[in-house]
Amino acid sequence: MSFAKRSVPFLSLGGMFEADDAAAAARVMQAATEPGGSFFPMPEEAEFQTALAAHEGAAHAVAFNSCGTALDACMMVLGIGPQDEVITTPLTFVCTATCAAARGARVVFADIAPTTLCLDPAAVRKKISPRTKAILPVHFAGCPADIDGFDAIGRQTGIPVIYDAAHAVGTRYRGRPIGAAGTASCYSFQSNKNITTLGEGGAVTSEDADFAEAVRRKKTFGYVYGGPRLRVVDLGFNYRMTKPQLAVGLTQIAKARRIIALKLAAMIRLRQLLADVEELVLPAGIEDGHGAHLFVVRLDTDKVRFTRDAFQEHLKRQYQVGTAVHYPCVWTWEVFQGLDYDNSDCPIAERAGTEVLSLPVFAQSSEEDLQYAAWAIKQSIQQLTVRSQ
Question: d(Cα 127, Cα 136) in Å, to the nearest integer?
Answer: 13
96 lies in the site for ligand PLP, by CB under 6 A: yes
* The binder of ligand PLP chosen from 16, 28, 52, 95 (CB under 6 A): 95
Q: Which candidate, 242, 251, 229, 239, places its Cα nearest to that of 38?
A: 242
From start to end of 230-285, where are the E strands? 231-232, 280-281
Q: How far is it, in rounded angstroms, from Cα 198 to Cα 46?
A: 18
Binding track, positions 102-141, relative to ligand PLP; x by CB under 6 A = ------------------------------------x---
Catalytic-labelled residue, pool 133, 193, 218, 263: 193
205 is a site residue for ligand PLP (CB under 6 A)? no
Measured from the CB of residue 243, what is the shortest distance to ligand PLP in angstroms?
Answer: 18
From 105, 166, 184, 349, residue interacting with ligand PLP (rule: CB under 6 A): 166
Q: Provide the strand spans (E) within the chain.
A: 60-64, 85-88, 106-109, 132-136, 162-165, 172-173, 176-177, 184-188, 202-206, 223-224, 231-232, 280-281, 295-299, 356-359
126 is catalytic: no
For ligand PLP, the closer CB: 172 or 314: 172
CA distance 361 to 267: 6
Q: Which of 8, 16, 58, 67 contacts ligand PLP by CB under 6 A?
A: 67
**Helices and strands (H and E) in the chain: how many:** 11, 14
Q: Which of 12, 49, 66, 196 binds ligand PLP (CB under 6 A)?
A: 66
With contacts defined by CB under 6 A, name the span among 118-126, 159-167, 173-181, 245-253 that binds ligand PLP: 159-167
Nearer to ligand PLP, 241 or 304 (CB): 241
The verdict on 68 binding ligand PLP (CB under 6 A) reads yes
Whole-angstrom distance, CA of residue 74 vs CA of residue 83: 17
CA-CA distances (angstroms) from residue 117 to 114, 184, 300, 346? 5, 21, 14, 12
Shortest distance in whole angstroms from residue 186 CB to ligand PLP: 7
Angle, in degrees to the nearest 10, between helices 67-77 and 209-219: 120
Answer whether 203's CB lies under 8 Å from 64's CB: yes
Would you count residue 184 as binding ligand PLP (CB under 6 A)?
Answer: no
| Closer residue to ligand PLP, CB minimum distance, 293 or 314 | 293
How many residues contact ligand PLP, by CB under 6 A? Answer: 14
Stretch that binds ligand PLP, among 3-11, 61-69, 176-184, 344-352 (CB under 6 A): 61-69
Integer Cα distance of 172 and 139 in angstroms: 10
Residue 276 C-alpha from the chain's centroid: 29
Which of 197/380 has CB closer to ligand PLP?
Answer: 197
Residue 197 found at the interface with ligand PLP (CB under 6 A):
no
According to CB under 6 A, which one of 49, 92, 132, 194 is a site residue for ligand PLP?
92
What is the torsional sign of CA 46, 50, 56, 62? positive
Q: Which residues are catalytic?
A: 193
Interface contacts to ligand PLP, rule CB under 6 A: 66-68, 92-93, 95-96, 138, 164, 166-167, 188, 190, 202
